Structure 1
Amino acid sequence: MVPGVGEGAPGRRSRARNRTGTVISPTPRPDEGHGLHLFGTLLAAAGRQTGSGRPRLAPEDVHYAVREGREGNLVIFVVDASGSMAARDRMSAVAGAALSLLRDAYQRRDKVAVITFRGRDAQLLLPPTSSVHIAGRRLARFDTGGKTPLAEGLLAARDVVVREKVRDRARRSLVVVLTDGRATGGPDPLGRVAEAAARLVAEGAAAVVIDCETSFVRLGLAEQLARQLGAPAVRLAQLRADNLTDVVRRAA
């Protein structure tokens, strides 16, 4: 078990009422069901009959099918692409994890997006998709280096969450931030990070912070960000695609 990620962790998908799930029960309320529940309708008509013969249906006998299925997740990786070698290691792990998650995205109804932040702004490197082919092509090339605009990365994630909520309100967003928590560039960068984190939380997005701090003297900035996001902070012994995928799957 990864510390901070498990049963009840933010982002864990739950059973959801929808139009395409498994039929679990009938209901007489049309606003609670999707499609006709034939057996429930016939049972209601039969229960109203007082004599023998074929039941006669009345409008109040009609029952609707209550369906239940798994919620789909949108996993948004927000990756610190500043620096050089460390940034490439982070991107390599994210690319591998994204492709692994997408291989079963069809069955799980999941989508994956990747945002990088470096220099002065953030880039939506991979818009939300369930296509392994698209992800493989878009994640093959990326830029690294420069300053660390962490606030811009969080705001870009917030924008993706907002857009996806318009498209599918049942889909849950899980933001996975890979950072050491440092922020540089512009006035009061850490204050802007706190503000951006609050705006992301206000959209109801769950999060996990992958603590990438490697310095001997730890500043604890990634853990501070995790608290601002109401999220667990996870330190991995090795940042590899399989370890990162495991964290996401347990959180989702």
Structure 2
Amino acid sequence: CRSRAVGTRGRRIGAQPPGRGPGGSLHLVETVKAAASRPHGGGRIGLLPRDLRVAVREGQESNLVLFCVDASGSMAARKRMGEVKTAILSLLLDAYRRRDKVGLVTFRGTGAELVLPPTRSVDTAAARLDGLPAGGRTPLAEGLLEAARVLRRERLRDPRQRPLLVLVTDGRATAGPGSVGRSLAAADHVAALGVTTVVVDGESGPLRLGLAAGLARRLGADHIPVSEVSAAALGGAVRERAA
């Protein structure tokens, strides 16, 4: 089941004095009960400020799922982007009745791009994700920094959202001077945000360097090795952590 959050909206689960949590509406019954529990000497019940009770409500937390995907390479990258698109659309369809958002940052060539600003709209996502380019070198640092920028902005917009960063990469950084060192520094920057992060490791081939696993450790992230990046693997990783 999805995580529950105490707030000002949702199902009423109790009452408490004002000022002890999120502000709520007056809970009349509990207020009267509190007043009645005091000695009155047989007279009328009088309300005092300390008798006031406000409703405590329980709602569902919304999630922000931000994919940060390596779009470098050739055929493998194009197939990978197709699987990412399928996963995003599937997650948005699942979240139709909730307030979850899904966004996508890609990195390739010399920089990173927010291809899909966080949205709840399946139509918007389908239009923005049509024909994503792929190929070129791997600017991992730029991808991580762009993801961090988006996460900070969304946190300011809605601090109640639970962010989840899904990084799809083999851990290689090949764009620009000092690419490896810059990617590690960017990983430290992302880790400092305290966001739940998953690294989906798409490394393939007979020679495995384990770079994505090392990156996951640097990020304080879960590491999910997959033989092939698929919509099912991506969707499963998200649903397990955003439930």
For Structure 1 versus Structure 2, the TM-score category normalised by the shorter chain is over 0.9
SS at match of 2:8: strand
Q: Which amino acid aligns with 2:214?
A: Q
Deviant stretches of 4+, over 4 Å? 51-54
1:203-222: CA deviations, max 9, x gaps? 11111011110121100011
Q: Distance in 2 between matches of 1:199 and 1:73?
A: 21
TM-score by length of structure 2 reads: 0.93
- Counterpart of 1:117? 107
Is the Cα–Cα contact under 8 Å of residues 78 and 176 in structure 1 kept in the other structure?
A: yes
Greater relative contact order (CA < 8 Å, ≥ 6 in sequence): 1
SS at match of 1:217: coil
- Counterpart of 2:56? 66
Shift of 1:193: 0.8
Which of 119, 124, 135 is 1:129 aligned to? 119
Structure 1 stretches lacking a partner, 5+ long:
1-11
User: Does residue 162 in structure 1 map to residue 152 in structure 2?
Assistant: yes
- Counterpart of 1:25? 14
C-alpha distance 135-53 of structure 1, shift in aligned 2 (>3 A):
farther
Q: Which amino acid aligns with 2:123?
A: H
Is the Cα–Cα contact under 8 Å of residues 30 and 64 in structure 1 kept in the other structure?
A: no
Q: 1:146-225 alignment to 2 at 5 Å? A: 146-225=136-215
TM-score by length of structure 1 reads: 0.90
Q: Distance in 1 between matches of 2:214 and 2:227?
A: 20
- Counterpart of 1:77? 67
Q: Which amino acid aligns with 2:97?
A: Q
- Give the CA RMSD over aligned residues: 1.8
Is the Cα–Cα contact under 8 Å of residues 13 and 172 in structure 1 kept in the other structure?
A: no
Is the Cα–Cα contact under 8 Å of residues 23 and 67 in structure 1 kept in the other structure?
A: yes
Shift of 1:128: 0.6
Q: Give me the identity figure in percent.
A: 52
Is the Cα–Cα contact under 8 Å of residues 144 and 190 in structure 2 kept in the other structure?
A: yes
SS at match of 1:128: strand
Comparing 35-44 and 115-124, the one that deviates more? 35-44
SS at match of 2:167: strand
- Counterpart of 1:88? 78
Q: Distance in 1 between matches of 2:76 and 2:182?
A: 24
Shift of 1:24: 1.7
Is the Cα–Cα contact under 8 Å of residues 65 and 103 in structure 2 kept in the other structure?
A: yes
Number of residue-to-residue matches in the alignment: 241
Q: Distance in 2 between matches of 1:25 and 1:178?
A: 42
Q: Distance in 1 between matches of 2:150 and 2:173?
A: 21
- Counterpart of 2:4? 15
Is the Cα–Cα contact under 8 Å of residues 174 and 205 in structure 1 kept in the other structure?
A: yes
Structure 2 stretches lacking a partner, 5+ long:
none
Q: Which amino acid aligns with 1:166?
A: L
Q: Which amino acid aligns with 2:111?
A: D
1:158-213: CA deviations, max 9, x gaps? 00110011111111211101111111121211111111011111111111011110
SS at match of 1:69: strand
Q: Distance in 2 between matches of 1:108 and 1:89?
A: 29
Shift of 1:49: 4.9
C-alpha distance 27-92 of structure 1, shift in aligned 2 (>3 A):
same
1:64-95: CA deviations, max 9, x gaps? 11222222111110111111211112111111
Which of 235, 241, 251 is 2:225 aligned to? 235
Q: Distance in 1 between matches of 2:37 and 2:206?
A: 74
- Counterpart of 2:26? 36
Is the Cα–Cα contact under 8 Å of residues 204 and 227 in structure 2 kept in the other structure?
A: no
